[in-house]
Amino acid sequence: MRPTFVEVDLGRISANLAAIRSHVSPSTKVMAIVKANAYGHGIVEVARLMEKQRADMLGVAFLEEAVLLREHGITAPILVFGGIAQKQIPLILKLGLSATAPSVDKLRLIDEAAGALGIRARVHLKIDTGMERIGVHYYSADKLLEASLSCRHCDVEGIYSHFANADAADLTHARLQQQRFMEVLEFYTKRSLPPPCRHLANSAGVLALPESHLDMVRPGIMLYGVYPSPETPKTVPVHPALSWRSHVAYFKVVQAGSPVSYGSTWAPEQQTRVVTVPLGYGDGYFRALSGKAQMLIRGHRYPIVGRVCMDQTMLDLGTGTAYNGDPVTIIGSDEKEAISADEIASWAGTIPYEVLTNINTRVPRVYLGA
């Protein structure tokens, strides 16, 4: 196995799920979001864990992710969030997946395909309350809801929307989105009909807006122990499940004035010790971290010097000590020091979501606490 790898603590993911369940109402279901390779943690292993822990549903972005889970024996209910092409509908139905219906036209296509196959389709209606991504606008949602009542081959098991700003300090827009969603749901009250499963809360909604929990919540990044933003209240105690490790591949002494890496952007002012770590932007470690980030060796922080390469990155030890084969921590703890996905995100000028999902499949995953 490569000396660069990711450790995923499945026990921590289980504990995070338990903490989320304790925070919401006992009657509120939990959809575990495993899209984007389970936020870098490994979609198959995490989905298996969530199935074992009896998560009520799994959420994926694309049909391909759901197909992968079914191919690996995952039988749990799965909702495909993204917009689907017409040609994908028959496969969604044959695999017993729940499809998002973001428009009247797409709902009719699903209903027709289900009728042709002699299958009952499972559908969640998508309402756009202020994200402007996919979904019927809240102010014209009645047309979609009316159409759903006349479907002959669809079981409308859910209706949902998505927050755009629930991770912000100012929750005005998030509350406006919830108000719009609740107004859409009055369609059922006026007709004395029970609504399908209502879901709105993502991780930030779970943490900051208890009134948005409704019938089901959709924790994503918090399931993996990372909070959505610094502004989000930490009302649920969750802990990171992912550590990114490597090992020193090479040690050298670099003379004063001798530049390091591509572009010769950095050279030491005096003789120093430099080690090479076998990972780079080819693994998903941002080139933007060049000259900004740090890694841990023997409980000490050492800065990246020169540009991050595709497969290798250099650290300046100064007068510090390290040997070939010494462990290196990119994300995680080493003795009393720790580097988080949030810290890497701040160095790179991005968000922890991108840091985690950017770790690509060239990096092996090792699972603990299975």
H-assigned helices in the chain: 10-23, 35-39, 43-52, 63-71, 89-94, 104-117, 141-149, 172-190, 203-208, 341-348, 352-357
The token pair that represents 247 in the structure block: 């090992």
DSSP 168: S
**Alpha-carbon span 368 to 237, nearest angstrom:** 20
DSSP 61: S
**Alpha-carbon span 267 to 314, nearest angstrom:** 12
Classified as helix, coil or strand, 368 is strand
Cβ proximity of 97 and 84 under 8 Å: no
Q: Which residues pair with 154 in a beta bridge?
A: 121
CA angle 313, 349, 251 (to 5 degrees): 15
Q: Which residues are the active-site residues?
A: 35, 262
Q: Give residues with Cβ within 8 angstroms of 179, minimum separation 6.
A: none
**Alpha-carbon span 308 to 291, nearest angstrom:** 8
The owner of tokens 């927050």 is: 163
Beta strand pairing call for 197-199 and 154-160: parallel
Q: Which residues pair with 16 in a beta bridge?
A: none
